[in-house]
Amino acid sequence: MVVFAALVAATPTVKHADATFPPVTGEGLTLYQAADATPSLTTSYATSPAGDHSADPWAGGTLNLTYTNTTDWRFDHKNYPNQLLLHGLTFAVYLELPANLTADAFLAARVPGSTQLAFDFPGGESSSGSYGGTYSGELPDSAMTAVNDRVIQVTVTNDNSTNYLSAMLVFFSVMLQHDVDVSQVPMRLTTQVDIAQATANGAPDDSTSNRAPTTGKLPPAASGKLDFRAALYGLDEEAPPAAVASTTPTWSQYLSPWDTTGVANTIVDEGETIDGNAANLPGVTGARTVALSASEPFDPARFIRVVDYAKRTSADTSGVHYTDAADPSLSEAAVKAADIPAGGRKTVLYYGTVGGQPLSPVPLTITRSTVDPPTITGQHAIQNVSTSADPGTAITATAGNVIESTTTFRLTTLAAQTSLSNTQVRLSLPANVTFVPNSLTINGEPDATAVTAAGVDRPLGHILSAAGDHVTITYRYTIAPEASGELSVPGAALTSTVTYPSTVTPPDGPLMVTANPATINIAAGAPQLTKVPTQIDFGDHSYAKLPKTFTGQPNDPQVLVSDPQGSQWQLMAATNATGLAIGAHGLSATPQHLYSHDGRAGTIDVNANAALGPFTWRLTRPDVTATTTATITWSIVVGP
């Protein structure tokens, strides 16, 4: 006998109709929701009971849905047989599904024979027998169709439910001979869904490579609840009745073993990027592996990680436990005490709860090598070279500052008959910075490789070949004007292929070491010119008209100053020509004062309302040639 444990939800009422549900048309016997009806939707999930730690509380099982309502029937009492057989029933029950459960998957996974529609008519006894009462029958698959990815409609027409309607006609014919009232008729629609079949391909938003967290399981929800809604619509209703809702408990976190020390996370799996980090244990989600060194302690607690499915962040692990997959009755102490011999293997099973929510158990295969793997350390520091501040992992900078990144990888141990090859480093930039060309050096040697935000891989050859060897990588970048807040600076990632003695079973994947990240706090900077006219055209004029003062037309008159702090400053300008002026201010080789700022913060348009005046140039014959040019140099002087 199979025992099922059910999780049943309450049924709150939604106070508004949903435009997602289209209007109903047709010519059959029409059903409407009765004026004083109290419809309800109940959803529940039934799966095998817990007990054995290896049992997954969210895998397989059945999703049960029951929708009830009270209906009023309207039809031609003289012509109802033709109406019923030719057009069926004119109404629709709409069912809105939660995210991660598509209409197509729902329909394909319905349990055969589970979709039933029943009406409880008044009944009685007569000399010819009983009449009325409950009419119930199975609806075929074609009675349920998808409106869109999230909405299903249930209809009963001559096109999809011939058998149901034929039997109903016989039932109706006897019942209506006794003038049975067909108002206030309770109805009940039930169906069931095989969850393993509905989610056989995993959830649509599951980013893991194999969709292991969601395949064959009740879909997850960030709230820990699956939200369903249902409504009954009659013929062309201008104000359809409100939908009712039901929620069913589900999961929102899953177990994903990961090395909390970072050492064994030797592969990059972008599909499982958690807390912004794509480094993972070898293998795939739900089937990770760990290779311990000959002397490394065996501690399964080191690999415990719970992931928040929606947020892609790590979650509370206090409710997680572990046992031996081969003998789930063993305690944590017994599992840890058993250890793993050199060359041995053990599969640890993690299970537990988070916030009272049961977690799907997950295995982790742990092996022990007979040789210790190489160990490499990575240290990363950044320095604001514009201010000559001390280097560190958290510094302050302003727009325009130049930052130098320095990372050192050091090979600290390398066992006999073990070697490294294909060693390379991935370098990348933080957001809102610009790489300083030709600034990359490797162990002091210049390198023409340009570092980008997307990342660039730089082979390192055999720089790390013996214990004690190291490689130091430096490069620079400039903080862009649009940078603000805190910039996260990724650490460089080094990968290398390890060759072990032939007697050793090597761990999966290359050796990977990621240096520590760093942060740059972007402080509000000093006033900075961000825009000035780049060209001023004084036109074509006859040489004979000189001397004369001409007015120039700038390609863009704006003079913009970015002042994030709000400070006092002076706008200055100088030129290499004679006779140039801006408004009343004659220019010379010595910077001349044009404008004083009052301390307002923001982007200041100095030339708003023509505050600076026109650009003029007084030319005399000795000063000019066929084409005469000049340069204006703009500057900011901070202070009153």
Structural domains of the chain sorted by starting position, each given as residue range(s) with its CATH number in brackets: 5-205+214-251 (no CATH), 254-368 (no CATH), 375-522 (2.60.40.740), 528-638 (2.60.40)
Element (H, E) at 460: strand 456-461
CA nearest neighbour of 603 among 559, 556, 636: 559
* Residue 484 pLDDT: 81
User: In sequence order, what are the beta bridge partners of 119?
Assistant: 135, 187
Q: What is the pLDDT of residues 114-130, one digit of tens each?
A: 999 999 999 888 777 78
Q: Which residues in the chain land under pLDDT 50?
A: 1-19
Q: What is the pLDDT of residues 27-43, one digit of tens each?
A: 999 999 999 999 999 99
* Residue 540 pLDDT: 78
411 vs 376: CA distance, rounded Å? 4
Q: Give the Å distances, CA to CA, from 62 to 47, 245, 392.
A: 7, 19, 56
27 vs 91: CA distance, rounded Å? 10
Single-letter amino acid, residue 134: T
CA nearest neighbour of 388 among 400, 402, 408, 375: 402
At 517, list the tokens. 């990240």
Residues 6+ apart with CB under 8 A from 211: 201, 202, 203
Q: Give the Å distances, CA to CA, from 640 to 1, 587, 595, 598, 599.
A: 89, 21, 11, 8, 9
Q: Give the Å distances, CA to CA, from 259 to 44, 255, 262, 457.
A: 37, 13, 5, 25
Tokens 């003062």 appear where? 549
* Residue 301 pLDDT: 96
Q: Where are the alpha helices (DSSP H) in 318-360?
A: 332-338
For the chain, how big is the Rg over CA atoms in Å? 38
* Residue 601 pLDDT: 78
Angle at 586 between CA 583 and CA 587, to 5 degrees: 115
Are the CB atoms for 196 and 59 separated by under 8 Å?
A: yes
Q: Give the Å distances, CA to CA, from 227 to 44, 97, 219, 245.
A: 11, 7, 11, 7
- Per-residue exposure over 317-352, b if at least 16 CB sit within 10 Å of its own CB, e if not: bebbbbbbbeeeebeeeebbeeeeeeeeebebbbbb
User: In sequence order, what are the beta bridge partners of 418?
Assistant: none
How far is residue 60 CA from its own chain's centroid? 26
* Residue 508 pLDDT: 64
* Residue 472 pLDDT: 97
Q: How many residues does the chain have?
A: 640
* Residue 49 pLDDT: 58
Angle at 528 between CA 527 and CA 532, to 5 degrees: 135
